[in-house]
């Protein structure tokens, strides 16, 4: 990654290979635990016989938001639009970033030495989307959950067992689960193991990537209530990625809507749900399934095929599928505008 | 160790005894299964109703683990009618996936075994009992007659092969005769586009770890639909998809169903999706069916306290509550099930009879069945609750 970046310096190459890396650095504002500024993460596409970089998957293409301590930001958007990549890049879990800033407690995460980063890891945790591939098949569950706790000496030795039991109990796991191996669990049980592992470390900030989508609604409710309780008790901050909009509405203070690597709308949860502005957000909300077999849906069907992040459309990236598309949308990328206090949208419909 | 024994921990000696006993039992099953040239008459059977594609009849699937026998599925009966969608919901860990894996004969062996009951499969001109079928015979049905969309895509996509090669292989295996490599590749790309994958030609050359969660899930769906199966088992097929793509995938499933009159067994936690897709709903709890009925009956007239609790737990868009309702208590240990109603310890609606043995099935209507003491005095006509 680093090598290809050198070959393609800031914005002065033609075609696919140019990376525009210009941004105005932000200054630290202590009310925010996390400040993300024009963050970019591109994955190189290799091609040809010699595996030359022929282009990039622009998974995260310049997103900006700030997160207040003790709050939850919901992140929603089309499958493949870059939510997981955004979460992982913020936590520095997928190599180098391509551009932008990530300030955690005012500290640029990508400036930390490996040793500092290891210490930081206990404070920033992630609950992975795919529980199975993130659990070691050779360790019993008690060990999986306790491993890092022991490594970082977070609780005294004589309290260790009780502590792990307590964490497991909080996440709906029972003592008899402790000696079993991951493959002996159902999908939802494995998800709870991931949640327990992350929460056992007493983190300050947790990226929750689809943490409850594999759970039945009752356990879902239990986990969500637990996340909220912990938040109140320890002033935790969450970035909550989910496709379940009713869950997002319930748990989040603010919501960000992503489309093809960009944040297209951002604001307080109530504002977003009461008054969605971006045409993509509107289409998304119209497709929420209603738990009533008689319900009539009036879905806004998105026409056109889904564009590729390797070759995004010009102008507004949504213009190929937008019902309100105007001429200028095709050529000019819209800027972020504040429509009501704290409610931002990136769309030409709101140009004055 | 001794101190903890009471909570279900085992002594080394006990564990060794269990493990030896397990091996004896599973060897017996495996020997049966691995026989060559099993005569068809052994697994030929009759459907109870020829309008069903699948009939689960008193299915018991156990895992023989070193900690004891996990009764993952403990007497499950329900039907999947031809051309209909049956939604299966229930507590996480209640045996939904194990039920479907039993049907596909894809249980983790040797510890996972169907120990009792039948799964009757309607092949049109004849019917087979899956639990008695030999491996080789089963292989012909998987992918052709029926296919499964697995809950966790990463467990069934091979991480070291490119996406395109993996989908190509499925097509070549079942529908490959007379097709060139290029034609197969074209078909793969067409399928990837059908499930809404952008840049399908690029994705064709990618490895599973390079895809997002939802893209992997859609690759799985494409593979499952490649051969237009008559029976689709979809285990949480849309959990990683946003609602717009979910709607697209649901439409795709529906149109396939209508086109060739396929049946779908649809496992999901999303009650909204069930309401939209299912004709019938089966509610499972701790390895058993506690309620089943048409989708209207289950949503408008939920009878079992677990179903009622489930409906109450769901957050609804536009309805803010401080704390979500969640059913109190925990599922019983599947190694050590109580001998009364499995839900009793968590039930907020207990009546006098609940201490008795596990309740039997009560008919509230010809289609609506519930296993709960609250309905023991209801006549078998139902409707008037
Ligand atoms: N390691 C990688 N190499 C190449 N491309 C990648 C890699 N990881 C992700 N991508 C691409 O980046 C894009 C965004 O992926 P990401 O996993 O962030 O999506 P997502 O929003 O989390 O989607 P989902 O809701 O389906 O999980 C996708 O197009 C994906 O193919
Ligand atoms: N290989 C195994 N060995 C031992 N126990 C197992 C094994 N596989 C599953 N189980 C147990 O069987 C029970 C049922 O599991 P199953 O995967 O069917 O649940 P599920 O209903 O699909 O749940 P979810 O909604 O969480 O996916 C669980 O209690 C699980 O722990
Ligand atoms: S900028 Fe134009 S194309 Fe983009 S969402 Fe707004 S109206 Fe649609
Ligand atoms: Mg993701
Ligand atoms: Mg399952």
Q: State how far the alpha carbon of A155 is from the alpha carbons of A125, A152, A160, A205, A294, in Å.
A: 18, 9, 6, 19, 53
User: Nearest bound ligand to CA B107?
Assistant: 2
Nearest to A210 among B240, B243, B295 (CB): B240
- Sort out which chain B residues have CB atoms less than 8 A from A311's CB and list them: 199
Pair B332, B345: CB distance under 8 Å: yes
- What is the reported pLDDT for A177? 87
Quick one: pLDDT at residue B53?
95
Kindly report, residue by residue over B76-123, the tens digit of the pLDDT.
Answer: 999 999 999 999 999 888 999 999 999 999 998 888 999 999 999 999
Picking from B206, B225, B361, the residue whose alpha carbon sits closest to that of residue B289 is B361
Residue range B203-224: mean pLDDT, rounded = 90
B243–A222: do the CB atoms touch at under 8 Å? no
pLDDT at residue B226, as a whole number: 86
Distance of CA A271 to CAs A256, A264, A277, A343, B148, Å? 11, 15, 10, 7, 41
Each as own residue / partner, the long-range contacts of residues A137-143 (CB below 8 Å, 24 or more positions apart, any chain) are: A137/A181, A137/A182, A137/A183, A138/A181, A139/A181, A139/A182, A140/A178, A140/A179, A140/A180, A140/A181, A141/A168, A141/A173, A141/A177, A141/A178, A141/A179, A141/A180, A141/A181, A141/A182, A141/A185, A141/A193, A142/A168, A142/A178, A142/A179
Give the number of whichever ligand sits closest to the CA of residue B268.
2
Check: CB of residue A321 under 8 Å from CB of residue A260: no
Ligand 1 lined by A239 (C-beta under 6 Å): no
* Cβ-defined contact of A291 to B316 (cutoff 8 Å): yes
Residues of B in contact with A188 (CB under 8 A): 92-93, 269
Buried b (16+ CB within 10 A) or exposed e, B283-300: bbbbbbbbbbbbbbbbbe
Mean pLDDT, rounded, for B220-224: 90
In the predicted model, what is the mean pLDDT of chain A?
A: 87
Q: Is the minimum CB–CB distance between B269 and chain A shorter than 8 Å? A: yes
If pLDDT is split at 50, 70 and 90, which confidence band does B382 have? very low
User: Of B38 and A196, which is predicted with more confidence?
Assistant: A196
Q: Which ligand is nearest to the CA of A325?
A: 3
Reported ipTM exceeds the 0.90 cut: no
Q: What is the pLDDT of residue A16?
A: 55
pLDDT for A46-84, tens place per residue?
A: 876 677 888 889 999 999 999 999 999 999 998 889 999
Share of chain A above pLDDT 90, in %: 54
Every domain of chain B with CATH number 3.40.50.300 lies at 143-278
Give the chain B residue nearest A47 (alpha carbons): B205
Name the residue with tokens 């903890």: B4
Backbone angle region of B185, left / alpha / beta, with phi > 0 → left and psi within -120 to 50 → alpha: alpha
SS3 content of chain B, % helix, strand, coil (to 5): 40, 20, 40
Average pLDDT over residues A277-291: 90
pLDDT mean across residues, chain B: 87
> What is the Å distance from ligand 5's center to B112 Cα?
15
**How far is the centre of ligand 2, averaged over its atoms, from the C-alpha of B206 (Å)?**
31
The answer to whether B368 touches B297, Cβ cutoff 8 Å, is: yes
- pLDDT class for B252, splitting at 50, 70, 90? confident
Q: What is the arithmetic mean of pLDDT over B154-160?
A: 82
Q: Which chain B residue has the Cα nearest residue A128?
A: B213
pLDDT of A5: 40
pLDDT over 90 at B155, yes or no: no
Taking alpha carbons only, the member of A193, A143, A127, A178 closest to residue B92 is: A193
| pLDDT value, residue B4 | 42
Q: What is the mean pLDDT of residues B251-263?
A: 88
pLDDT at res. A3: 39
For residue range A5-38, list pLDDT tens digits in order: 433 334 434 345 677 777 888 888 899 999 999 9
**How far, in Å, is the centroid of ligand 5 from the Cα of B234?**
10
Residue nearest to ligand 2 atom 8, measured at CA? A184
Measured between CA atoms, the residue of chain A closest to residue B277 is A293
Does residue A130 register a pLDDT over 90? Answer: no
How far does residue A43's CA lie from ligand 3's centre (Å)? 26
**B 304-343 → A contacts, CB under 8 A:** 309-311, 313-318, 320-321, 323-327, 330, 333, 335
Which of A221, A245, A301 is closest, CB to CB, to B243? A245
CATH classification for the domain delimited by B143-278, as one of 3.40.190.10, 3.40.50.300, 3.30.70.1290, 3.90.79.10? 3.40.50.300
Residues forming beta bridges with residue A352, ordered by sequence position: none
Query: How confident is residue B151, by pLDDT bands cut at 50, 70 and 90?
Result: confident
The average pLDDT across B202-226 equals 89
């Amino acid at each position: 990654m680093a090598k290809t970046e050198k070959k393609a310096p800031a914005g002065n190459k033609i075609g696919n290979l140019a990376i525009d890396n210009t941004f105005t650095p932000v200054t630290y504002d202590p009310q925010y635990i996390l400040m993300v500024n024009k963050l970019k993460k591109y994955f190189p596409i290799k091609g040809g016989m010699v595996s030359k970089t022929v282009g990039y998957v622009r998974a995260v293409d310049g997103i900006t938001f700030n997160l207040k301590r003790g709050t939850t930001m919901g992140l929603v958007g089309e499958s493949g639009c870059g939510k997981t990549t955004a979460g992982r890049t913020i936590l520095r879990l997928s190599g180098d970033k391509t551009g932008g800033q990530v300030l955690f407690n005012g500290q640029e995460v990508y400036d930390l030495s490996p040793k500092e980063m290891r210490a930081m890891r206990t404070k920033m945790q992630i609950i992975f989307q795919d529980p199975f591939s993130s659990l070691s098949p050779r360790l019993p569950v008690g060990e999986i959950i306790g491993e890092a706790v022991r490594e970082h000496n977070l609780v005294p030795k004589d309290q260790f067992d009780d502590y792990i039991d307590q964490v497991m109990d909080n996440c709906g796991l029972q003592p008899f689960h402790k000696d079993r191996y991951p493959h002996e669990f159902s999908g939802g049980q494995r998800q709870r193991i991931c949640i327990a592992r992350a929460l056992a470390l007493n983190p300050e900030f947790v990226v929750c990537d689809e943490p409850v989508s594999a759970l039945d609604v009752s356990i879902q409710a239990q986990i969500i209530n637990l996340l909220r309780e912990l938040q109140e008790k320890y002033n935790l901050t969450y970035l909550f990625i989910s496709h379940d909009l009713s869950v997002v509405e319930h748990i989040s203070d603010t919501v960000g809507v992503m489309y093809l690597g960009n944040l297209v709308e951002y604001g307080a949860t109530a504002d977003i749900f009461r008054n969605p502005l971006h045409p993509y957000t509107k289409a998304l909300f119209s497709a929420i399934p209603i738990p009533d077999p008689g319900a009539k849906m009036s879905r806004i069907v998105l026409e056109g095929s889904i564009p590729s992040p390797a070759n995004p459309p010009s102008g507004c990236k949504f213009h190929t599928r937008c019902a309100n598309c105007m001429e200028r949308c095709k050529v000019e990328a819209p800027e972020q505008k504040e429509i009501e206090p704290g409610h931002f949208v990136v769309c030409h419909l709101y140009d004055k | 160790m001794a101190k903890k024994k009471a909570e279900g921990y085992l002594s080394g000696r006990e564990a060794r005894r269990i493990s030896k006993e397990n091996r004896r039992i599973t060897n017996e099953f495996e020997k049966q299964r691995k026989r060559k040239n099993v005569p068809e008459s052994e697994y030929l059977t009759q459907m109870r109703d020829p309008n069903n594609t699948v009939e689960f009849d008193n299915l018991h699937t156990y895992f023989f683990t070193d900690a004891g026998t996990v009764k993952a599925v403990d007497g499950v009966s329900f039907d999947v009618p031809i051309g209909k969608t049956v939604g299966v919901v229930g507590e996480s860990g209640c045996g939904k996936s194990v039920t479907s894996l039993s049907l596909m004969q894809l249980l983790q062996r040797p510890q996972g075994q169907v120990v009792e009951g039948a799964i009757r499969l309607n092949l049109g001109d004849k019917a087979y009992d899956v639990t008695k079928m030999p491996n080789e015979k089963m292989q012909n049905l998987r992918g052709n007659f029926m296919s499964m969309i697995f809950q966790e895509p990463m467990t069934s996509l091979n991480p070291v092969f490119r996406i395109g090669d993996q989908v190509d292989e499925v097509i070549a295996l079942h529908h490959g005769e007379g097709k060139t490599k290029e034609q197969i590749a074209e078909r793969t790309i067409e399928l990837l586009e059908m499930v809404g994958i952008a840049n399908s030609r690029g994705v064709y050359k990618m490895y599973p770890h390079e895809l997002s969660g939802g893209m992997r899930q859609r690759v799985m769906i494409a593979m499952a639909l490649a051969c237009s199966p008559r029976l689709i088992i979809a285990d949480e097929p849309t959990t990683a998809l946003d609602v717009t793509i979910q709607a697209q995938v649901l439409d795709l499933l529906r149109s396939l169903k209508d086109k060739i009159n396929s049946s779908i067994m649809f496992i999901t936690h999303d009650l909204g999706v069930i309401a939209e897709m299912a004709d019938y709903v089966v509610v499972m709890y701790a390895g058993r069916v506690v309620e089943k009925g048409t989708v209207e009956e289950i949503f408008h007239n939920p009878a079992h306290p677990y179903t009622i609790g489930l409906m109450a737990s769901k957050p609804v868009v536009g309805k803010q509550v401080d704390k979500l309702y969640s059913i109190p208590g925990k599922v019983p240990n599947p190694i050590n099930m109580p001998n009364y109603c499995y839900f009793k310890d968590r039930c907020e609606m207990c009546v006098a009879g609940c201490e008795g043995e596990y309740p039997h099935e009560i008919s509230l209507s010809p289609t609506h069945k519930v296993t709960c003491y609250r309905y023991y005095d209801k006549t078998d006509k139902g409707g008037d609750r």
